[in-house]
Amino acid sequence: DIQMTQSPSTLSASVGARVNITCRASQTIDTWLAWYQQKPGKAPKLLIYKTSYLEIGVPSRFSGSLSGTEFTLTISSLQPDDFAIYYCQQYNSYPYTFGQGTRLEIK
Amino acid sequence: QVQLVQSGAEVKKPGASVKVSCKASGFPFTTYFFHWVRQAPGQGLEWMGIINPTDVTTTYAQKFQGRVTMTSDTSTTTVYMELSNLTSEDTAVYYCVRAGFDPWGQGTLVTVSS
């Protein structure tokens, strides 16, 4: 199985800050990577697919990129609604696997 | 609108089975595959498998092979996930998800307790 390693596990930041969450895969996954946001008691919400494509309706302050083997989710200017848990997921091969999650907290 | 509506919470005893339903609406049911993903309390997301509702072909995560069965009913646009031989480690919220990972169902809490 492909292991997805996310960092950091927890991130404290202020409203208006720019933050990056990274994800590495244990094997090549091409660009088959998605990012999700999850709030307490709710289902995950798809933010980005295929590394950098923004899901319809997702604010443009969210972006995704790939550099070498490191995938990054960037939030350019944190808003109060952005404090949540974020997960990456590879869908290059079965079983699809998720990162362990990054909890984004208010500083 | 496009949505997936799942069945309600379940409480099961160890060794029992549970069957969760997921009714799709607002889009052509047979043109999409469906995933099942679960999340134990306070834990991350775990992919369980995928079903093609048209021909009922499935791919399961090896961890669940032999215990999980995914089925579909095109007449009611519903997919099902049955998990057998439950243990306390199967206590989780179970989600159905349309291929493309959007939308997600609202989740079904399955609690396994003696």
- pLDDT recorded at residue B6: 98
Nearest CA in chain B to A32: B100
Give pLDDT, residue A98: 98
Q: How far is CA A49 from CA A36, A82, B22, B91, in A?
A: 9, 18, 23, 29
Per-residue pLDDT in tens (0 to 9) along chain A, 107 residues: 999 999 999 999 999 999 999 999 999 999 999 999 999 999 999 999 999 999 999 999 999 999 999 999 999 999 999 999 999 999 999 999 999 999 999 88
CA-based nearest residue to B19, from B71, B83, B76, B65: B83
pLDDT digits (tens, 9 = 90+) for B80-89: 999 999 999 9
Q: Give the per-residue pLDDT at A49.
A: 98
CB A41 within 8 A of CB B93: no
Q: Coil, helix or strand for B34?
A: strand
In 10 A of CB B74, how many CB atoms?
A: 12
The string of pLDDT tens digits covering residues A24-44 is 999 999 999 999 999 999 999
Q: What residues of A are in contact with residue B46 (Cβ under 8 Å)?
A: 98
**pLDDT (0 to 100) of residue A39:** 97
| CB-CB neighbors (< 8 A) of A101 in chain B | 44-45
Contacts with A99 from chain B: Cβ below 8 Å? 44
**Given this model, what pLDDT does residue B83 score?**
98
- The residue among A23, A68, A11, A24 whose CA lies nearest residue A47 is A23
Burial degree of B68 (CB within 10 A; 0-12, 13-18, 19+):
middle
Say if the Cβ atoms of B101 and A36 lie within 8 Å. Answer: yes
Residue B26: name the closest of B75, B73, B77, B100 by CA. Answer: B77
